[in-house]
Structure 1
Amino acid sequence: MATNRRERLREATMNEIRAAALAQLSTGGPSAISLRAIARDMGLTAAALYRYYDSLESLTEDLCADRYRSMTRSVVAARDAQTDCVSRLRAMCLAYREWALSHPQEYALICGAPVLLTGDTPQEGPAVEKMEAAVDFTLAFLGPFAEAWAGRRTPPPALLPGVLESLDGVVVELLTDKLPPEGIVYFVNGWARLSGAITTEIFGHLRWAASDAEPLFRENLEDMLRQLTA
């Protein structure tokens, strides 16, 4: 029982640290997160704070994992409110964009560093939790995508030489049970197109074209859905 109590107290303190880091992030962006400032605001010594997070990187990776989970909850709720696969995908993509627009600094933190899956990936800790949360977010789209792909009316176009050979990421293995090679390529390219459109808008790189990017996003999304179900 004592161990459980210690674990609860530790988790409560970590939640408080994350909340403080999130407040810094929301007001000043990723560069504003400071372990020393968090320790000062919580009435802790820097040494005491390092018992929970041994580095700023460790804290930001944990915060990234938490924000990925928040984003996943939003898109899953949107998915589960619909009945057919295309409506689910549409709702999820719109929820993804809405979350990013509502949490621009948190989205900037998520986009700040790639999630790398290699043989050197640690087996535990904030880095692997961030990796798992990012993968869970991406794979939340897989079910309705695979259902929509299975309902295609026409064969997909032939792939260019070398495309399949280029897909050597670890997550690709998780797609093979649900999708044929052509479907995997479309999923990866569609993901790049979707997240690219959102990221471009969030960082202001579409202001030269439109003050309101939502109609462009919706047109882009509908074009992707038409190609998916052709």
Structure 2
Amino acid sequence: MKNKNTIKSRIIRTENINWKQLKFIQQDGFKEHTAVNKSKLKESLVANGFADAFNVWQDENNDIWCLDGYHRKHDLEELECEGISVPEKLPALFIDCNDKAEAAALVLVFSSRYAKITLEGMQAFMNIYDLQINSEIFNSINLSEIEQFEMLQTLPIPEELTAVGKEKPATIKITFSNPRQLEAAMPMISSLLEEFPESFYSVSCGEI
């Protein structure tokens, strides 16, 4: 019987594994991985490297099952096809599970979000560590399109727009994953247009 008053480490070991041979418990369609999120994940992997080990379970047949990283694995394969060099072996944390059902329960745990980055918290964090927003950081942060729009309104004007380029049009492109998100953002867009009367926007659908 488990002792509910004690937290036990279930990490057995860390080991570099052939990530292409990973098996997965979760099925296709278990989690939504939009084109926008796929692009962000791939950009983050290229910009930041592989900084988060796979969590895995090894069964009695020595097959290694991945408890998270389903989309990372497939996106790494895509990056490799695109000419990016990916190590043959990557680190994995081996987790103690009695059987596949117990491992499947951990898939749900790793797929759940118990905390979410707030815009205020992110801004404070960046101030503490003197981080500057750039395209690599911004594109790798998993914020919704609406949250990105709100965040952009709080950012300082880039220096290049306050000097030579200040008399030239400044353009920002936001791609929504579906028309409903665009509709939800329209009040904020209208507010910006009222504040900056000479500005304008255009809408297209089905283009990247």
TM-score if structure 2 supplies the norm length? 0.25
Q: Does 1 or 2 have the higher relative contact order (CA < 8 Å, sep 6+)?
A: 2
TM-score if structure 1 supplies the norm length? 0.23
Point out the structure with the larger strand share.
Answer: 2
Point out the structure with the larger helix share.
Answer: 1
Structure (1 or 2) with the larger CA radius of gyration: 2
